[in-house]
Amino acid sequence: MVVTGRVDQNTLVAIGSSTGGTEALRKVLTQLPSEIPPIVIVQHIPAVFSKAFADRMNELCAFRVKEAEHGDEVVPNTVFIAPGGKQMQIKKRSDGRMMIHIDDSAPMNRHKPSVDFLFNSIADQVGSKCIGVILTGMGADGAQGLRGLRDAGARTIAQDEKSCVVFGMPREAIKLNAAEEVLTLMDIPGKVLHWLSQKKAA
């Protein structure tokens, strides 16, 4: 069931995922209402598949989903998926607008795009006005970044072991005490919306 209600559109939602993530993302995104805050996603995916995945999600969701491009403004009612084979970060302009920065920086944790690369930029540029989520995936990419987000005052979630295809990334985040909540996949959208519907998401 799609959750409805007014949400804070000034809080950034950042999601990282890997093995099993495309299906997990579909389940999360399709539970969200048409009016959402901006969402930025790193899914470990080859370059040739990231746009096709974004296009498929755009067909299924009640809001816009696109493969992120350098210079995109981070705006509500839009999901930005990092392009495969590139690094994505958030940069805040002097006027307060958040922009997508895509470049050819080296892999981080052997990944490009890397969840940590994105999360680190958000902790630095956005701070507490963020909700960070780590979904199913192999390895540890995103664990340190999620810890950085939590240290910056953001709300944070890790997917639980039972609902993960691979529990690697969430497990490492939980070990670092990076996750404020550990939730089953189907409970994540509701928790995110609950936090967004509170007067202050921090």
**pLDDT tens digits for 113-134?**
999 999 999 999 999 999 999 9
- Domain count across the chain: 1
In a domain, 2, yes or no: no
What is the distance between the alpha carbons of residues 8 and 60, in angstroms, rounded to a whole number? Answer: 23
Residue 105 catalytic?
Answer: no
In a domain, 1, yes or no: no
- Give the CATH number, domain containing residue 117: 3.40.50.180
**Catalytic-role residue among 18, 114, 121, 163:** 18
Residue 101 catalytic?
Answer: no
Q: CA–CA distance from 24 to each of 3, 6, 40, 101 (Å)? A: 17, 24, 15, 25
In a domain, 4, yes or no: no
Question: In terms of residue numbers, what domain contains 145?
Answer: 15-197
Pairing relationship of beta strands 181-183 and 155-159 according to DSSP bridges? parallel
**Catalytic-role residue among 8, 17, 44, 116:** 44
Prediction pTM value: 0.95
What is the distance between the alpha carbons of residues 170 and 180, in angstroms, rounded to a whole number? Answer: 12
Q: CA–CA distance from 46 to each of 65, 67, 95 (Å)? A: 18, 13, 34
> What phi and psi, each to the nearest 5 degrees, are found at residue 92?
-95, 130
**pLDDT tens digits for 136-192?**
999 999 999 999 999 999 999 999 999 999 999 999 999 999 999 999 999 999 999
